[in-house]
Amino acid sequence: MRTPTLQYLYLQKPVTMVIIICIISVFPWIGLGDFSTKGEPREAAVAVSMLNTGNWVLPQTYADEFAYKPPMAHWLMALFSYPQGYVSEFTSRLPSALAFITLIGFVLMFFGKRFRFQQAFIATLLLITCIEIHRAAMTTRVDMLLTMFIVLGLFQLYRWEDLLELKGLPVMIPILLGCAVLTKGPVGIILPLFVFGVYLLMLRKYSLLTIFKALLYSCVASLFLPALWYIAAYKEGGDNFLNVVLAENFGRFFHLNTPGINYELGHENGVWYNFVTLAAGFAPWTLFFVFSLFGIKYCKPQKSLKEILKDIWHKILSMEKVQLFSLVALVCILLFYSIPSSKRSVYLMPAYPFIAIFLAQYAIYITEYRMRVTRVFAAFMVSIVTVVIVAIGLTMSGIIHPELIVQQYTHHESTIQTVTLVSNMFASSSGLTISILLFMLIILFTVGYQMFKKINLKILYSTIALMFAINLLIDGVVMRGIREGASSRPFAQQVVKDFPLNDSNMFVMNNLKQYTNLYGLNFYMGNKFHNFETQKPSKGYMFVAEEDMEKIQKNYGDKYLFSKLTSTNYTIADVRQKILLCSFTLKTAQ
């Protein structure tokens, strides 16, 4: 067994290499493209408010709304934006990107010291290239930051038991779990301590009292930092803040209606939703798993179901500690998020590193003992990518026009717009696009070359590199085109130029139960919207989603005169419809 010093030296170069891969995977692309979802500008607007008002406890955002989540991610966004004096797409996505890099580095170090290094290395590569983790690393959301704090907290809890046998309490545990709470609420403590508690029970080493004390001490110590913010926020926000906390942390968990909350908790799905999104989130490696099922030899079991389950249970209990901990972590996280009716794919991300280590072990086994599976999967990926590159080449040369082809099969405006935007990006043939395509071709030929060799592990590595290249194409070209072509930014710049808008005369409807919130437009207008329903102004300008105009006329047409001034000539991505600018005056004031 290697000494700690030798382990460190052995891991140093691979960790550096993985961090470089992570940096290339996200850093050049997080500043490309505007916000195209409602979640990103909603979070970024909180950081805008912090910088503009100096309120770092409970800043007001969209039309007198305050943040739904604790401020750790927003603090980091504001901190990174402070030197330049404004919040940009790059600085608002930077916390997620840094959390992703930190997570991957520590995953490799943690597993690299406790498993075969090759297993840990492949596990990190699967994480870097799988859809869910990569996507979360590129967005202005809190989920990647939360995942990093929870997973690192779990690693520290494991080390506490493994090295100290629950004696004392390492200071990093309350710091990491406290930061997790400050990122998204009590789940940052409840989830990791739930995993750790089940793991301690599975060890059958400690009394129930010892386990209870360990969990209690960890919980109390971890609540100190978050309590400071919650107390300060309650003093500022009062019952309105308390209602949001209850809605986000308990209403969303059990899908309960909370008085005073004017937004839908949403995301209600059945238990199977988690497994479907998990399979989608780990793509394309779930496809590799599916391919492998055809290479396994099946035989009729010689034992009864009860005996089989008993044998499985004994094998689980006899696992090495780190394997048992990883299994408990992934099962408990999946179970935990199967309880609430509100479900989203990003909730499951803390389970991804623990799933990845088992998937890496399985991939190595298949590569070594079911050699044909790896080659067939590589051939499948090569075929798909080849077709895509040929289609891109034909588009760049002007031989085909994908938007015209799509129009023959659908009249859905949003779909046609998306295909048109992507097609235009390839038709422009920029230097970046050509460079990425050349890189893809090099990787493609590498995979093909390795398929003629006898070393299947190199085929696996080259297939992972191919997925990495695909991500570069998606981030550097495809998503950039969609974001820039369907953003609220051009409309915001145009209306500021054409109409006398100022900090006091711009209004929106802030009620998600009835209307569409324009978070993207609010960000690009400088977070200066006011709530029409609460202020009831005599005149001003109102931004409204096209489909909501009829409801506004119905609810306020007897008191106000609304006049349409202009609108977007394309569908805005984050609201999936056009946005109108109207002037309004109170009829009695005419």
Dihedral angle of Cα 557, 560, 562, 568, to the nearest 10 degrees: -90
Domain ranges of the chain: 4-30+68-366, 377-485, 489-589
pLDDT, residue 6, reads 47
> What does the pLDDT read at residue 36?
86
How would DSSP label each residue in 406-445? HHTT---HHHHHHHHHHHHHHHTT-HHHHHHHHHHHHHHH
Extract the residue ranges of the chain whose pLDDT is less than 50: 1-6, 8-9, 590
For position 41, what pLDDT does the model report?
A: 94
Q: What is the pLDDT of residues 259-302, one digit of tens each?
A: 555 555 556 677 788 899 999 999 999 999 988 888 667 677 77
pLDDT of residue 263: 52
Beta bridge partners of 577: 572
CB 364 within 8 A of CB 456: no
Half-sphere exposure of 37 (CA within 13 A, CB side): 12
Q: What would the pLDDT profile of 371-430 be if each residue is shown by its tens digit?
A: 888 899 999 999 999 999 999 999 988 888 888 888 888 777 778 888 888 888 888 878
> Per the structure block, which two tokens stand in for 241?
């803040």
451 backbone dihedrals φ, ψ, rounded to 5° = -70, -20
Q: What is the CB neighbour count within 10 angstroms for residue 390? A: 10
